[in-house]
Amino acid sequence: MTDEKLTQGQADEKQINDAFQDLLDRYLESKHRKKVEIITKAFNFARQAHKGVRRRSGEPYILHPIAVARIACVEIGLGSTSICSALLHDVVEDTDYTVEDIENLFGPKIAQIVDGLTKISGGIFGDRASAQAENFKKLLLTMNDDIRVILIKIADRLHNMRTLGSMLPSKQYKIAGETLYIYAPLANRLGLNRIKTELEDLSFKYEHPETYAEIEKKLESTKAERDNVFKEFTAPIKEQLDKMGVPYRILARIKSPYSIWNKMQAKHITFEEIYDILAVRIIFTPRNEEEELNDCFDIYVAISKIYKPHPDRLRDWVSHPKANGYQALHVTLMSNKGQWIEVQIRSERMNDVAEQGFAAHWKYKEGGGSEDEGELTKWLKTIKEILDDPQPDALDFLDTIKLNLFASEIFVFTPKGEIKTMPQNCTALDFAFSIHTFLGSHCIGAKVNHKLVPLSYKLQSGDQVEILTSKSQKVQPSWINFATTAKAKAKIQAILKREKREQQQKGEDMIADFFQRNEMESSDENIKKLCNLHNVKTYEELALGVGQGVFTLTDNDKNEIKEKPTQANWKKYISFAFGGGNKQKQTSKKKEDETQQQTLNIDKKKIIKLTPDAIQKNYILADCCKPIPGDDVLGYIDDNNRIVIHKRQCPIASQLKTSFGNRLLAVQWETGKALIFPVNVYVKGIDGIGVLNHVTQIISEQLNVNIHKLNIESNDGIFEGRIQLYVHDVDDVNTICTNLKKIENIKKVTRIENYDDVISD
């Protein structure tokens, strides 16, 4: 037994030493200063601190910090400070060592980063929505202190996703959902394109394993065909680039499984209908730094002489980089085989930024770096401003921030010709708030390209915008309906709340003055009488109405109070002045605690079996996504301790995964063919005599499926149809779709969630 332990111990030691040596080797290959001594010191300290601890997978725990440090070094391009912080990132959280201990041994900078990582440990979201918002705020605030905190946190999440297989299914859903909701867009916004893609693919793999495997299989089976297309398409391009004498390399870029699936879902198309799976990337070394931009356009001109470019698909991110620092020239060319192929032209420097993000080359880079006010700096400043305003609702706060995380950029100009990067679909009002809060709160309209437009006008790339203001203008509640950026929404809400508080306070003072002037007691009973007289439920509503001038306190109010008290159950009324709000919070918290306790009574390690009897008695199939047997699903324990079944890709489920991960359950269908479920199918094609008859014949007679509802419309020779059917499972739907696609002139058949869904081509 002792020999076995010794052998296991020796195997662990070798595995740990090999992993650390690999980290050191990769660090020494980088351009950073070679601070091997402090990295070795951090490794030895972390190794001792985590001694004897193992991960859920069974491997020694120290291998996780080493892996995170390797990602930070190799895949993000960070240096010794970040590597040490990554090696130490779980020490304060999981052992008895403190931040002060880290500071004494490794200095204030590493201690500050480890402290930031400790504050946001355990994932962005806690078990309750309120904790969720606070942890998310901490995460964003630490970004503002030192961007390396979030970069190491992304590295930590990437390694956790790579090793997610050892977790329980319910945990996998929570972590995968959280990753797609926050970490992938954060990585994208910080320019970490390769990491963003891997996070998306890994999340997709765990949420929809069968679909992921199917797409991977189709990518593999079509690889040879793509290789031939790439070879034929790039041959004349290589010949032309060789003549130009510019050092280059040409790569094939294949669309990721998640991106393919996303497009299939959004466009309601099959894998075979996606035509941009292959793109071509030209990466060149410029003649010199000054000629980099010119070389980009020279290559574009050269390849445009070989293949005809698409007139509407030139994307110039060289002259105007994306907000995450991405630079490239994208052009779509028509191949000799009649296929549109996108070509991305980048310098080696642009490619480094695209793959690793410019955060690695930014002001915190070891050995000094540029102090320029880049887009990332502006974005962090915007987030800081948003965090300065209180946000009582956790989910609203997250959705507001996500407006900025996901936004695509457009470029607009000020009257003086200065360029501003703004999110796509932003309005003139958003632009006003992006310049200054005072400008936004006093704007009355705008001139776009010298023409007068309303504040709700949606800006286009290239617009020149002038904001018109008035000192008498005030923020209007209706503005929140067409503000789209996080900053504008946050500022509008903050101003409206402040005004509401001021009006309520004014009303409270007027009510107190009314009682004092008329020598009456400001009792609960008298306040209740005033509320009843003005038809409001609470003291807060009364005070706000009085402050806004909606209600006026007159002799009628005085007479009402002086009447004999009624037998109304006024004791239930608790006024604002006597702390009703606190009691309400206590009640709410008690209810939440009770719900939390109830959820714990369900064995979450157990996979829920959806048998016919169980579905009819114990579970609710969510109406928002209408799951049927065969769909990838999960269970959610609601506030009434009922289990609601959602599709995993349902938008509501996505929010539940990130907000209430502790209430998720793994679910497995076991219905056989015992139950039937309604599904909706959309068909589109070229109109002709007998098409409807052919469709109904296949469904009803050949497949023996009951049609519940049918609607066919024809316009200009094109027909669209919506059919509601009753089926047993997803296999039935697939069989129906496959058979309908065989009908001549039917061009599209797809399952839709709602009968009236709008389908875009």
**Catalytic site residues?**
93-94
Write out the H or E segment, with its range, that includes residue 644: strand 643-647
- Sign, CA dihedral 553-556-560-562, equals positive
CA separation, residue 111 to residues 36, 86, 97, 145 (Å): 18, 11, 12, 13
**Helical H segments across 30-128, by residue range:** 36-49, 63-70, 80-87, 91-94, 99-106, 108-119
Residue 488 neighbours by CB under 8 Å, 6+ apart: 429, 430, 432, 433, 434, 440
Angstrom distance (rounded) from CA 675 to CA 331 = 51
Phi, psi of 50, deg, nearest 5: -100, 10
DSSP letter at 76? S
CA separation for the pair 395, 408 (Å, rounded):
22
- The rounded Cα 327 to chain-centroid distance in angstroms is 23
**754, 680 in Cβ contact below 8 A?**
yes
Rounded to 5 degrees, φ, ψ at 331 are -135, 140
Q: In what order do the strands lie in the sheet with 443-448?
A: 451-453, 443-448, 465-469
> Dihedrals φ, ψ of 108, to 5°?
-70, -35
Residue 535 CB-density burial (10 A; 0-12 exposed, 13-18 middle, 19+ buried) = exposed
CA dihedral for 622, 625, 626, 627, sign (positive or negative)? negative
Q: Residue 108 corresponds to which tokens in the numbers above? A: 């204030």
Strand, coil or helix: 567: coil
Write the DSSP symbol of residue 288: S
HSE value, Cβ hemisphere, 13 Å, CA-based, for 608 = 25
Burial class (CB in 10 A: 0-12, 13-18, 19+), 81: buried
**DSSP SS3 for 218:** helix
CA-to-CA dists, residue 468 to 252, 426, 428, 432, 440, angstroms: 49, 17, 10, 9, 10
Q: Is residue 37 packed enough to be buried (19+ CB in 10 Å), middle (13-18) or exposed (0-12)?
A: exposed
Give first-to-last CA distance, the chain, whole Å: 67
Q: How far apart are CA 277 and CA 296, in angstroms?
A: 24
Q: How far does Cα 471 stand from its chain's mean position?
A: 38
What are the two backbone dihedrals, phi and then psi, of residue 330, each rounded to the nearest 5 degrees?
-110, 130
What is the Cα–Cα distance from 471 to 488, expressed in whole angstroms?
A: 19
Cα(282)–Cα(351) distance, integer angstroms: 10
Nearest to 327 by CA among 306, 351, 311: 351
Whether the CB-CB separation of 644 and 638 falls below 8 Å is answered with yes
What the block records as the tokens of 153 is 């946190």
How is residue 471 written in tokens?
A: 């000192």
278-284 and 664-669 strand pairing: unpaired
Distance between CA atoms of residues 102 and 45, nearest Å:
10
Are 315 and 321 a contacting pair, CB within 8 Å? no
Report DSSP letters for 563-630, one per residue: SPP----GGG---GGGTHHHHHHHHHHHHHHHHHHHHHTS-TTSPEEE-HHHHHHTEEE-TTT---TT
